[in-house]
Amino acid sequence: MKKNDVFNGEINPDFISARLEKLSTDVWDRGYYKETDEGVWYEVYVNDDIKEYYPEIDLKNDADHKAMFGKFSDIFLDNYETDNQITFFVPDGEAKYTLDELTEILM
């Protein structure tokens, strides 16, 4: 499956739905992933403590947020304020901007 086929309901009706089992409860409420031929998509949800500390993540108008989160591949924050959701892609071979790095940033 190609990277962007994850969001095509005809090709991948389950979208990003495999449950992540080992997440830090200090940061995450729950999370899911989907492996593709090019890497892994993650859909993770911050817990209430993190949401209180980061009520919004604004990559357009906040230079600090852009520096912290802007280098993650294909990061989507459209549902962060309402649902605590962060969706992003980790290309094969990426060593730094991974789920572990995002967890560290949010801690």
SS3 100: helix
Specify if 46 maps to a domain: yes
pTM of the full predicted structure? 0.92
Specify if 106 maps to a domain: no
Other C-beta atoms lying within 10 Å of the C-beta of residue 80: 20
Q: What is the pLDDT of residue 6?
A: 94
Domain count, the chain: 1
Mean pLDDT confidence for 72-89: 96
Specify if 75 maps to a domain: yes
Average pLDDT, the chain: 96
Specify if 28 maps to a domain: yes
Specify if 99 maps to a domain: no
Q: What is the pLDDT of residue 82?
A: 96
Specify if 103 maps to a domain: no
Return the ∠ at Cα 99 (arms to 97 and 100), rounded to 5°: 90
C-alpha–C-alpha distance, residues 93 and 32, integer Å:
20
Specify if 18 maps to a domain: yes
Structural domain for 12, as ranges: 3-93
C-alpha–C-alpha distance, residues 38 and 49, integer Å:
33
Specify if 30 maps to a domain: yes
Q: What is the pLDDT of residue 15?
A: 96
Q: What is the pLDDT of residue 10?
A: 94
Q: Which two tokens stand for residue 92?
A: 């094969």
